Amino acid sequence: MVKESPKTAKQEAAPRTRTTDMWAVQCGKCFKWRTIPTQEEFEEIRSNFIEDPFTCDKKQKPNNNYSVSCEDPGDIEYDSTRSWVADKPNIPKTPAGFKRRVVMRKNYSKMDVYYHTPTGRTLRSITQVASFLETNPQFKHLSPSDFSFSLPKVMEDTIPIPEKNVVSLTD
């Protein structure tokens, strides 16, 4: 007779969504990584990255009136303690009222980009953006080019190695 083991809370929980929980930018001078406190600040830096590369002195120290310098230790090290992804430079800032969400696929193969609209709708492609803008005149000041579904590159050397289930067979 096979007895089912009771389900644990972990087994019953919904799958965890893998979204970005930290934003970081690499200094163009010293190549140290600097954390950026909000997605909005990160998007501002990323939207002008080619014309105005990030350098340590552009980051203010929290609760202080002076900037970080290249002489200061990096905020975070690039390593495999977390999964890293690299965004392309100059992706436009998310339009006001919208929310850009980037979600890692379960198998770490790539990420998916979604825009959540102020009306509660989720847009999954530039075609859906164009249709949404066309049918919502309050957003006529926006263009599909204000949105980007460009996928960040998953840095393969930081993908976690799945734990292997070990099965022991006895007679």
Q: Work out whether strand 111-116 and strand 122-123 pair parallel, antiparallel, or are unpaired.
A: antiparallel
For 34, 115, 160, the CA distances from 13, given in Å and listed in that order, are 34, 26, 21
Which amino acid, one-letter code, is at 135? T
Using a cut of 0.85, tell me whether the model's pTM lies above it: no
Q: Which CATH architecture has domain 18-155?
A: 2-Layer Sandwich (3.30)
In tens digits, the chain (171 residues) has pLDDT values of: 333 334 434 444 444 567 788 999 999 999 999 999 999 999 999 999 999 999 999 987 666 667 789 999 999 999 988 899 999 999 999 999 999 999 999 888 899 999 999 999 999 999 999 999 999 999 999 999 999 999 999 999 998 876 333 444 444
- The three state secondary structure string of 107-159 is CCCCEEEEEECCCCCEECCHHHHHHHHHHCHHHCCCCHHHCCCCCCEECHHHC
DSSP summary character for residue 43: H
> Rounded CA gap, 40 and 57, in Å?
19
Domain ranges of the chain: 18-155
